[in-house]
């Protein structure tokens, strides 16, 4: 099943994707709201207003997760290009809900940063409450997958040993446009990131040092994961900061992150207006 969160009647609503249309699931403000009410399979046949996809304006798939946990250095190719060692354990940092943006939304390039980079990522969305999950419980807790672009302000990220200040700029992390249930993801699914039509990143989403189930197990050991929480699983090789010469986004840059089985997350980056 494929789901989304859209703008609807002055607010937002969860929606089920049906081909070139969406069925609005009135009563659920977003996919997080739907997940807190139970399994997404419960809305597979629910009727509602139908809207053509070309008329839809997306919101972030999850509007206000209680946690956004991000994993750094989790694709082998990216670890090599950043000249790091393979991590024995997941390298974690966090984001806040204020960082989230929608598919199709213009993302502001802040005047304080001259080194805004792209990071296409597969994102895990939690569907049930888990703490200290077993492998089976962790797999069952994954409601589905979506796409993120962990746009990073590299000059701020490198100011200290901690990455946080380069990762939490307001409305800098688009999430969406769709959440798909795990059965929709092909066994050979790949992710590509393009900037202005030029492919910059390619990666097999299953070629992670720490896979989704392991990440849910690990993170849930530390803290309770709840419906609507999001885990960003890391980015493959090809980021601009690791290129020679280095490349960064400029005003007008269009970034497209595509994951087989999910779709494409597209955003234009523009100079922030006062």
- The secondary structure of residue 99, as a DSSP letter, is G
pLDDT on residue 138: 98
Residue-level pLDDT at 86:
81
Tell whether pTM > 0.85. yes
Whether the upstream peptide bond of residue 29 has omega within 30° of 0, thus cis, is no
State the pLDDT at residue 73: 86
For residue 110, the model assigns a pLDDT of 97
pLDDT of amino acid 81: 77
Q: What is the pLDDT of residue 44?
A: 81
Give the residue ranges of the chain where pLDDT is below 50. none
Residue 116: per-residue pLDDT: 98
The pLDDT of residue 273: 82
Q: What is the pLDDT of residue 112?
A: 97
The pLDDT score that the predictor gives to residue 39 is: 79
User: First CA to last CA across the chain, in angstroms?
Assistant: 41
Classified by CATH at the fold level, domain 62-271 comes out as Fumarylacetoacetate hydrolase; domain 2 (3.90.850)
pLDDT value for 77: 73
Q: What per-residue confidence (pLDDT) applies to 117?
A: 98
Q: What is the pLDDT of residue 207?
A: 83
What the block records as the tokens of 193 is 């990131």
Query: For residue 19, how many other CB atoms are within 10 A of its CB?
Result: 7
User: What b/e string do you get for 67-106 counting C-beta neighbours within 10 Å, with b at 16 or more?
Assistant: bbbbbbbbbebbbebeeeeeeeebbebebeeebbbbbbbe
**Per-residue buried b or exposed e for 25-46, using 16+ beta carbons within 10 Å of the residue's own CB:** beebbbbbbbbeeeebeebeee
């Amino acid at each position: 099943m494929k789901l989304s969160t859209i703008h609807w009647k002055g607010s937002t609503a969860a929606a089920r994707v049906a081909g070139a249309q969406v069925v609005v699931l009135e009563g659920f403000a977003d996919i997080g709201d739907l997940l807190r009410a139970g399994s997404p399979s419960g809305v597979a046949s629910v009727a509602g207003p139908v809207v053509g996809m070309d008329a839809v304006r997306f919101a972030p798939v999850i509007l206000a997760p209680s946690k956004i946990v991000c994993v750094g250095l989790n694709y082998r190719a990216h670890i090599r290009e950043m000249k790091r060692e393979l991590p024995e354990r997941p390298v974690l940092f966090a984001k806040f809900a204020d960082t989230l943006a929608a598919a199709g939304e213009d993302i502001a390039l802040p005047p304080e940063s001259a080194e805004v980079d792209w990071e296409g990522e597969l994102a895990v969305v939690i569907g049930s409450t888990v703490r200290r999950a077993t492998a089976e419980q962790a797999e069952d807790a994954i409601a589905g997958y979506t796409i993120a672009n962990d746009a990073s302000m590299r000059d701020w990220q490198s100011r200290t040993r901690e990455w946080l200040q380069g990762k939490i700029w307001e409305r800098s992390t688009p999430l969406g446009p769709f959440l798909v249930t795990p059965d929709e993801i092909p066994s050979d699914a790949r992710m590509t990131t393009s900037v202005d039509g030029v492919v910059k990143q390619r990666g097999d989403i299953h070629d992670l040092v720490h896979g989704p189930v392991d990440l849910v197990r690990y993170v849930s050991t530390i803290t309770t994961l709840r419906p609507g929480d999001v885990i960003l699983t890391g980015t493959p090789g090809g980021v601009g900061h690791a290129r020679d010469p280095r490349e960064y986004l400029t005003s007008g840059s269009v970034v497209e992150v595509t994951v087989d089985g999910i779709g494409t997350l597209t955003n234009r980056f523009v100079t922030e207006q006062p």
